[in-house]
Amino acid sequence: MADSQKNSRHPRMAVVLGVVLIVLGVFNLAGNVFPGDIWFRLGQIMRALWGIIWPSAFVVAGVYLVWASRRGKLAGFTSSRPRGPFRRSLEDRRFLGVCGGIAYYFGVDSTVVRIIAVILLVIAAPTVLLAYAVIAIVVPYA
């Protein structure tokens, strides 16, 4: 890995860590300032919204996958082209290049892989986060 790539990754990680710390601090401060009844009501509202958003997300993901299959964006799943070793993507990456690398390996659109990753993340968050972290640590960039 070149020095410029190594140095550019650290500030991004610092920003992500900084945002996480800010969010945790704000939630802890808000819990001390506002009474518990507000958090109970906010929880009820969030559960009601989640009951609408979660099924809607499945519908949207299903519609996108049907559209993608009609447009030929899923052709790589059935192709028998020779594949090289799996690598994380440098060109098509949003966070660490894992989804872009999977998309390139299977020859599909990276949006499809990202939608599947988000659905899996909601269904089994700890397992998916662990797998993503292991892939990000173990698999080198292309």
pTM of the model: 0.50
Give yes or no: residues 84 and 52 share one domain.
Answer: yes
Give yes or no: residues 124 and 65 share one domain.
Answer: yes
User: Is residue 28 included in any domain, yes or no?
Assistant: yes
pLDDT by residue (tens digit) across 65-98?
788 778 877 766 655 665 678 888 888 878 888 9
State the Cα–Cα distance between residues 128 and 26, nearest whole angstrom: 27
Give yes or no: residues 62 and 106 share one domain.
Answer: yes
pLDDT by residue (tens digit) across 111-126?
888 888 888 888 888 8
Residue 10 predicted with pLDDT over 70: no
State the Cα–Cα distance between residues 76 and 68, nearest whole angstrom: 12
CB 136, CB 96: distance < 8 Å: yes
